[in-house]
């Protein structure tokens, strides 16, 4: 009997996101520091001949299981680059909110590539996997080997793994989907135009927790303002987090609507999560450890 293979698909959090300009090809030039949560989706693969996808889990209703799903798109991208690979039946257990700025679909797609690699004995550093990731979506390359690192360009340039100290956090999504394309459109940057003063603060080779917090505080998410114009409830979530005891930094992730708060310890983060759920019981709230 063929063994079922499984991979975690953790949430991707943009701790910073600087928009440096818009390229001639229409894509925006970004510089972002990302980290990953221990919480996320789970993707399983039963290797076999027929490629398929089924979805379950608490947020499954918001996910399409058709050919547009990023899991299947990633599989087809890899099959187009290497013939004769074994795929099979995927089962995605969806826990992350959709269209939430935390790379849920991209992380699922990256997990699919890792699973197909395992099923076919492909080395994790085989360039074909990263090539397929780039072809699938902008956030898929950084999700392929999930750990703290810089991503740049339109997501195609990935930095080395960073020695980021673990941060206790609270992730909050007010159950509002925000379309990434609409947020970027609200920036209204003409093609070929750069943004003055948009540079990301430099990283040192080794930094203490206090230095990391200072760097994060000096940085920003340039998509936060346009996203607030589309979904003002993001501002409400940020204000609640910033008012929580022990919150050192609160910011939106990606293009929203998920926001995060960073805390010094698990107790403060857990207390803040309970406070958020008491006040906004319909929101998606999760304490998390980012690394």
The model's pTM is 0.95
Residue 68 has what pLDDT? 61
User: What is the rounded average pLDDT for all residues in the chain?
Assistant: 95
Q: What are phi and psi of 83, to 5 degrees?
A: -75, 155
- 222 included as an active-site residue: no
pLDDT tens-digit map of 228-263: 999 999 999 999 999 999 999 999 999 999 999 999
pLDDT tens-digit map of 169-228: 999 999 998 999 999 999 999 999 999 999 999 998 889 999 999 999 999 999 999 999
One DSSP character per residue, the chain reads: -PPPEEEEEEEEEES-BEEEEE-TTSPEEEEEEEEEEEEEEEEEEEEESS-EEEEESTTGGGS--STTSHHHHHHHHHHHHSTT--EEEEEEE--SPSSSSS-HHHHHHHHHHHHHHHHHT--TT-HHHHHHHHHH-TTHHHHHS-SSEEEEETTTEE-----PPPEEEEEEE-S----HHHHHHHH-PPTT-B-TT-PPPPPPSS--HHHHHHHHHH--BTTHHHHHHH-THHHHHHHHHHTSTTEEEEEE-TTSS-EEEEESSHHHHHHHHHHHHHH-TTSEEEEEEE-
**Which of the residue ranges 8-22, 28-42, 55-69, 217-231 would you say has the lowest mean pLDDT?**
55-69
Catalytic residue chosen out of the listed positions 41, 139, 222, 268 = 139
pLDDT tens-digit map of 99-115: 899 999 999 999 999 99
Residue 67 has pLDDT above 60, yes or no: no
Helices 127-136 and 104-120 cross at an angle (nearest 10°) of 150
Residue count of the chain: 291
- 126 included as an active-site residue: no
Asked if 221 and 16 touch (Cβ cutoff 8 Å), the reply is yes
């Amino acid at each position: 009997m063929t063994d079922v293979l499984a991979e975690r698909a953790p949430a991707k959090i943009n701790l910073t996101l600087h928009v440096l300009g818009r390229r001639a090809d229409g894509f925006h030039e970004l510089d972002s520091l990302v980290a990953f949560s221990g919480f996320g989706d789970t993707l399983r693969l039963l290797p076999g001949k027929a490629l398929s996808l089924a979805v379950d889990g608490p947020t499954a209703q918001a996910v399409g299981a058709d050919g547009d799903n990023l899991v299947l798109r990633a599989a087809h991208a890899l099959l187009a680059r290497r013939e004769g690979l074994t795929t099979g039946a995927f089962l995605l257990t969806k826990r992350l909110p959709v269209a939430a700025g935390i790379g849920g679909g991209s992380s699922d797609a990256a997990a699919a590539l890792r699973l197909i690699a395992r099923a076919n004995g492909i080395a994790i550093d085989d360039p074909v996997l990263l090539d397929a990731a780039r072809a699938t979506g902008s956030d898929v390359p950084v999700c392929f080997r999930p750990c703290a690192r810089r991503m740049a360009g339109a997501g195609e340039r990935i930095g080395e793994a960073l020695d980021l100290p673990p941060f206790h956090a609270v992730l909050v999504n007010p159950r509002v989907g925000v379309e990434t394309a609409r947020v970027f459109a609200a920036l209204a940057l003409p093609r070929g135009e750069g943004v003055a003063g948009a540079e990301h603060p430099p990283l040192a080779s080794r930094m203490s927790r206090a230095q990391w917090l200072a760097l994060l505080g000096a940085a920003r998410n340039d998509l936060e303002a346009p996203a607030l114009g589309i979904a003002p409830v993001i501002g409400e979530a940020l204000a609640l987090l910033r008012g929580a005891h022990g919150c050192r930094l609160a910011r939106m992730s990606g293009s929203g609507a998920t926001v995060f708060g960073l805390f010094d310890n698990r107790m403060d983060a857990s207390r803040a999560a309970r406070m958020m759920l008491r006040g906004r019981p319909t929101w998606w709230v999760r304490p998390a450890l980012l690394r």
